[in-house]
Amino acid sequence: MNLTIFSDRNNLNELSNSLTNNNKADYQKIKKFHKVSRGLEREILSFIQKRNKKHSVWGWKDPRTVLTYKIWKQYLPEANIVILFRHPLRVADSLIRRATDPIIKNVPLSSLKSWILYNSILVDIIHNTKKEKIIVIEDKELIKQPRDFVSLLSEHCNQEISYKEITNIFDPHLMSTKINRTTKLLTLKHPFFTAKSLHLYHQLQKNSTVPIKTSSKRNFPNFLVIGTGKAGTSSIYEYLKQHPQVYMSPVKETNFFAFFDADTTTYAKEDQDWISKSITHLEEYSTQFNSIKNEKAIGEVSPIYLFHPKAAEQIKNILPKVKIIVILRNPIDRAFSGYSMHVRRGTEKRSFAKATQGNAHNASYIRGFYLEKGLYYRQLKRYYSLFPEKQIKIFLFEDLCDNPLKFMEEMYQFLEVDPMFTPNVTKWYNAAPMKTKIPSSHRKRLVEYFRTDIKQLERLTNKDLSDWLR
């Protein structure tokens, strides 16, 4: 085999240094693309001519090539490209562990920014390169399927490459699978950069040349039930689980998209305890969906998503095509039901009147915000501004109570699973042991409180909600 890799590496290093300096680029940024000088152009042409003279097939591996790709493309327009990519958090973790660079050591976020810079360029390269000229593979797939990769590489190089020749190149056991605490904190403190890196990562996965045997799509849900609380979500979770074409996360209320970026110090004490029991790391969240078999609809239920101000954007960044199910309940009844639950648990000592007056500033997510959680229009606006209307389906709790089978049939249809399946709806889950009616004086007061929001909600959802105003 006449294939040479890393030929005259010292010369390549010098040339790469010259090109990155010319391009005013480093692993953090590319300031401006400059045309190469005549002297540098002569070096490039000499470098190429020498290798063409010695070898019919030759190449190199240097991450800096990404930063100077536009220059190399001018002189090697027909070159084949191999892109090997890795999960952004694992790369960031590796850079942080080594911490030989003072910038990364002092500013861990720079590790993630570096990944974003490199891989945004890679995505652009993929989109502007003919498919027959490029191989794209993830590191974990290379480890799982080395023979498939070698076969593709042989085809691209038009050379016979023996599988035995690469078996000693890397040791998969040296690839760390653990994420250290610094990296975990990085994802929590910088949700924007984390979400941006994951979006790029999924784009790379979609363009992978070597098929992913364990599809990444199966690591995440394709529908979410986002609320509201006290609207039968526990029962709906169980009814969905019964359907053979539906997979539900083993943990109900993962709360992942609400607390993915949680700085727990900004939350009330009881919320901090709640968050500690929630799933807040992406890797842990994805394991919720590892047991999927042939189910079509894959979902989870977390009622906090509707109310939490950051959840909608987090969902959009990570799951832009997800279907969103919303169950709404008369906000007055919902408020009183939530209040009554905490009274039964002994966590609410105030009267209903006091608990629903001026409590927004000192309440916790898990206990409180009784009225604010019922301002559905304000909450749904976030979702309608981020997702196409066809991805959102609104249901009413009152319809679930009146005819649960018809209610579930409509939900199954939205999820595109067999709507004729009949779930056992004889049991009501997580229901209050007894019904206490809200005093009429409070109802009149709260009707006026919610009136404007309900009217706006009617226009947004095209649903008749006049019963809520009686």
Instruction: State residue 115's pLDDT score.
Output: 86
Residue 312 is predicted with a pLDDT of 95
pTM of the model: 0.57
Q: Give the C-alpha distances (Å, rounded to integers) separating 239 from 32, 76, 233, 459.
A: 57, 59, 10, 30
Q: From first to last of the 470 residues of the chain, give the pLDDT tens digit.
A: 344 444 444 567 777 777 776 655 555 555 555 577 888 888 889 889 988 998 888 888 888 888 888 888 889 998 889 999 988 888 887 877 766 667 666 777 788 888 888 899 999 999 898 888 899 988 877 777 777 788 778 877 777 777 665 556 655 555 555 556 666 666 667 776 777 888 888 888 878 876 544 444 447 999 999 999 999 999 999 999 999 999 999 999 999 999 876 666 777 777 788 888 899 888 788 889 989 989 999 999 999 999 999 899 989 988 999 999 999 999 999 999 999 888 888 888 888 888 888 654 446 676 778 999 999 999 999 999 999 999 999 999 999 999 999 999 999 999 999 999 999 999 888 766 556 678 888 899 999 999 999 999 999 999 999 999 98
324 forms beta bridges with 224, 392
Residue 151: the pLDDT is 79
Q: What per-residue confidence (pLDDT) applies to 257?
A: 94
Residue 175: predicted pLDDT: 57
The pLDDT of residue 25: 53
CA distances from 289 to 97, 114, 179, 219, 251 (A): 29, 30, 20, 5, 10
Q: Residue 34 has what pLDDT?
A: 58
pLDDT of the residue at 237: 97
Domains and CATH numbers, the chain: 3-212 (3.40.50.300), 218-469 (3.40.50.300)
Residue 215: its pLDDT value, please?
42
The pLDDT assigned to 67 comes to: 83
Please give the pLDDT value at position 180.
64
